[in-house]
Amino acid sequence: MLADIHMHTSASHGKNTVEEMYYAAKDKGIDIQGFSEHAPRPHKYSYPIEYNKHLSYNFPQYIENVSHIKKCGFEHHKVLLGVEIDWLPSESLFMDSVISMYNFDYIIGGVHFLGSWGFDFTIEDWRNLSLSQCYMHYKNYFSSLKEMVCSKLMHVVAHFDLIKIFTPSIFRTWINSAEGQKIVLELLIAIRDSGMSLEVSSAGLRKFCKEIYPCLEIIKMAKAQGVSICFSSDAHCKNTIGFAFNQLFYYTKSVGYCAYRIFEKGKAKVITF
């Protein structure tokens, strides 16, 4: 059974409508489709090229469209209503309001901003950084991710090592250091103990880093600590739904995984593969 629980639509910066994504997933043999559009953000958290105003306007209609398909769609193609929320430590009331406003099946949490800096937008922000500056950003990123996990607001941790996006070689050196191992191990234990799942995402294969999220060192640690996983493409168009899922299955099986999870009405369900 195939479940892809992370995808975006034209309600934000995706290319296709909810309906187009729905039919594309069905045609690709996806059995369980989780729509997880970005939640609108407070305005001070912005990328240089921004879609937040467009998203804020379209978000209620996105909810309505997915809810309609959940109710009226094909019998053997399950649709779940999710959302991807940016973890913004100083915006707890804002995050709470989004979560409580709708009946989401699950909440994906991710860190895209360190302070007000959207660190995953352009390689130019990273090009002239020293090794110590990169390491500092890694530590700050995982510290923020740990705060998110400890909040217990989310069900799924998105693209766990997104921070490597423009510096994969430097990140690999750091993750194999004593400091990197300690920080990541503590975070993985927190994920396990919180009941959350770790997203294994093919999105990184389409990015500058050309790697699955999370990297092999981390997925091995996750398996050793008993962290549950889920699968996603983080598709932003209909062509990338279920992208490289055979590779994701092989990747996770190679370290000992034989099951993954989805969340429906906030409850975890286990699927073997």
**Where do the domains of the chain lie, and which CATH numbers do they carry?**
3-272 (3.20.20.140)
pLDDT > 70? residue 211: yes
pLDDT at position 45: 79
State the pTM of this model. 0.95
Beta strands 117-118 and 113-114, pairing class = antiparallel
- Rg for the chain, CA atoms, rounded: 18
How far, in Å, CA of 44 to CA of 116, rounded? 7
Per-residue pLDDT reduced to its tens digit, 52-107: 788 888 999 999 999 999 998 787 899 999 999 999 999 999 899 999 999 999 99
pLDDT at position 43 is 78
- C-alpha 219/C-alpha 198 separation (Å) is 9
User: Which residues partner with 262 through β-bridges?
Assistant: 269
